Structures are given as C-alpha cells and as structure tokens.
C-alpha cells in the first residue's frame, strides 16, 4: 500500500463484527505561535473487539489521533464516529505511559476510581477492583500507596483500572514505555492474556515493533508528520499468544518488513531523508 493510500481496516459486509470507531478524513492542525500540521486525512475503521497497534515515528501524531478518538482533543477537519454501546469512553479507560495513578489513593481505590466516578456503590466497585487487582498480580498490595510500589506495579494499577471501568474500549498511549525490558516483556504477556479473555476494542500506541506484533490483530504504520496512514498490516499469529512466538522465523521476517517501512519515516522525521 503506498504512502498516499488512505488505507482502511475494512470489514466484510456479512461476517465481521461492526466497527467500534470509524475515523474519516481526519486532520489536525495545532495553531498557536507556530502552526503544526499533526494529522492529514486519516481514515481508519476499528472493529469491535479488535486490538489495533499504532506505530510511527516520533511526532507523527499518534497521541493526537488517540486523544481525538477519546474526545480529549478536537479535530480540525473530518470526524470520528463512536459506535460503542456506552458512546462515551470514560477517562479511566485511558492508560498513559506515566502519571496514571493518584498518589493519594491506595491501590484498591485507584483501581476502583473509574467506577467511583460512575457512582457505582463502594462495596460493588471494591469487589470489581479486587478482581482486577488479582488479575494483574497485585493481590496483597490493596492497601499500599503508589510511592510504595515499583514502576511496573504502578503501571499494572493503571491497566487494572482501565479494565475495571467495564468500558468496551481501552485507549493506551505507550502504556509500557517507561518500564525496564524484563518487566515490559512480562507486562506484554499479561496484557495479551487479559485482552484475550475480555476482547475489548483496544487502540494502543507504541514505538516497539515486537510489542505491536505480540499484542495486535492489526498494525497501523503512520508516516512522518503530518501523520497519514501508510500501511495497515494484519498480524497473522494465532492466539493465545505467548512471548515465544518472537523466536519464530515468521516473526523475524514481519519485524524486518515493518522496520523497513518505518525506517523511511523515522529518517524523514529526523530530517535525514
Ligand atoms: N497541544 C499541542 N499544541 C501544539 N502542538 C502540539 C500539541 N500536541 C501535539 N502537538 C504537536 O503535534 C505533533 C504530533 O504530536 P503527537 O504527540 O501526537 O505525536 P506522537 O506521534 O505521539 O509523538 P511521540 O511518539 O514522540 O510521542 C508534534 O509535532 C507535537 O509537537
């Protein structure tokens, strides 16, 4: 698919799930002292229950795209249709790289926060939170405060909270980016398992090609700024997925071809092209 192609994650008319999000002709120009053309004519469809990973060079508008889909930012042109049952994605269904937890809440209250905002009764939200605390391996730390935990444990709080909101979709912006390599690997595996059990619609921005290939059903490669959709690649590996797939020749081959596509864009974004 060429760079100029406005590629789409299309669904076949009969047997595919409906789209949770439809992005049409989306552009974003930040105006201010200097004008920044961040996104240009982006078209994407995201099927319900699919896991999409977005890769692209630094500054190509990945976070901006995610923020517009999550209604944290407005588009300059184009639109995003949200076809989720709840229509609105709760703030707590976002997972960011850092600063996602409240230092003044303990683990239990951090994880229960989304449902607290939705006025779910305390007993019920704590029960839900406890389930997700167990799922992410934080049981025993319910009463601990974030400063008493490691970076990986804090990120697990954010992920547990996002799942505990009950939102049918999760938007994740480099959720594992700040972690050390070993913790990140473990967390990738944990995330893939949680998602395979829940099948929420997930859009995850990452810089790590392997992470996108381990987690995603499809990978969107974006061009250098202004960000456009350069390629959409289905990820062919069967689920459930384990980290061991990274050792296969097919994985190495796909990783290489993604890198070749990305390299041009990274060079352009760094002014080397
Ligand atoms: N609020 C803002 N005001 C002005 N410019 C902005 C704003 N937010 C983002 N930008 C600019 O828009 C462009 C895209 O930013 P964005 O954060 O979406 O990129 P990104 O692909 O997520 O980058 P990275 O991978 O480095 O996190 C950048 O040039 C950035 O400086």
Q: Which residue has the least CA distance to atom 8 on ligand 1?
A: 64
* pLDDT score, position 14: 55
* pLDDT score, position 128: 92
Between CA 17 and CA 149 the distance in angstroms is 40
Ligand 1 — pocket residues by CB below 6 A? Answer: 30, 32, 36, 38, 56, 58-64, 225
Instruction: pLDDT tens for the chain, 273 residues: list them.
Output: 444 444 444 444 457 888 999 999 999 999 988 999 999 999 999 999 999 999 999 999 999 999 999 888 999 999 999 887 656 777 778 888 766 799 999 999 999 998 888 888 999 999 999 999 998 889 999 999 999 998 888 988 999 999 998 888 999 999 888 888 888 888 898 889 989 998 999 999 999 999 999 999 999 999 999 999 999 999 999 999 988 999 999 999 999 999 999 998 898 888 876
Distance 102 CA to ligand 1 centre (A): 25
Tally of structural domains, the chain = 1
Domain assignment of residue 128, yes or no: no
**Residues with Cβ within 8 Å of residue 51, at least 6 apart in sequence:** 195, 201, 202, 204, 215, 216, 217, 218
Domain assignment of residue 241, yes or no: yes
* pLDDT score, position 47: 93
Distance 18 CA to ligand 1 centre (A): 30
Q: State the residue range of the domain holding 241.
A: 31-84+172-188+203-266
Domain assignment of residue 256, yes or no: yes
* pLDDT score, position 117: 85
Domain assignment of residue 271, yes or no: no
Nearest atom in ligand 1 to 174's CA: 27
The CATH number covering residue 258 comes to: 3.40.50.300
Domain assignment of residue 244, yes or no: yes
Nearest atom in ligand 1 to 60's CA: 21
* pLDDT score, position 131: 93
Domain assignment of residue 64, yes or no: yes
* pLDDT score, position 187: 86
Distance 138 CA to ligand 1 centre (A): 33
Asked casually if ipTM beats, i.e. exceeds, 0.90, the reply is yes
Q: Which residue has the least CA distance to atom 16 on ligand 1?
A: 61
Q: Which residue has the least CA distance to atom 17 on ligand 1?
A: 63
Token pair for residue 253? 């081959």
Domain assignment of residue 70, yes or no: yes
Domain assignment of residue 121, yes or no: no
Q: Is the pTM of this model over 0.80?
A: yes
Between CA 265 and CA 226 the distance in angstroms is 11
* pLDDT score, position 55: 97
* pLDDT score, position 178: 81
């Amino acid at each position: 698919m060429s760079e100029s192609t406005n590629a789409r994650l299309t669904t076949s008319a009969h047997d595919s799930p409906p789209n949770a999000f439809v992005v049409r002709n989306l552009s974003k120009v930040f105006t201010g002292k200097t004008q920044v053309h961040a996104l240009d004519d982006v078209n994407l469809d995201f099927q319900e229950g699919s896991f999409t990973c977005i890769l692209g060079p630094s500054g190509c508008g990945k976070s901006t795209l995610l923020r517009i889909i999550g209604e944290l930012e407005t588009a300059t042109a184009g639109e995003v249709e949200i076809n989720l049952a709840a229509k609105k994605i709760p703030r707590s269904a976002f997972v960011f790289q850092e600063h996602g937890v409240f230092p003044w809440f303990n683990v239990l209250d951090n994880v229960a926060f989304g449902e607290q905002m939705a006025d779910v009764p305390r007993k019920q939200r704590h029960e839900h939170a406890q389930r997700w605390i167990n799922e992410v391996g934080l049981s025993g730390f319910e009463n601990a405060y974030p400063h008493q935990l490691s970076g990986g444990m804090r990120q697990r709080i954010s992920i547990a909270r996002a799942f505990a909101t009950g939102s049918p979709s999760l938007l994740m912006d480099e959720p594992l980016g700040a972690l050390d390599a070993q913790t990140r690997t473990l967390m990738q595996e944990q995330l893939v398992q949680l998602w395979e059990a829940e099948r929420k619609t997930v859009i995850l921005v990452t810089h790590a090609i392997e992470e996108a290939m381990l987690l995603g059903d499809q990978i969107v490669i974006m061009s250098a700024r202004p960000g456009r959709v350069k390629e959409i690649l289905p990820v062919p590996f069967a689920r459930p997925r384990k980290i061991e797939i990274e050792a296969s020749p097919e994985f190495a081959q796909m990783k290489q071809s993604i890198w070749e596509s990305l390299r041009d864009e990274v060079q352009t974004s760094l002014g080397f092209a």
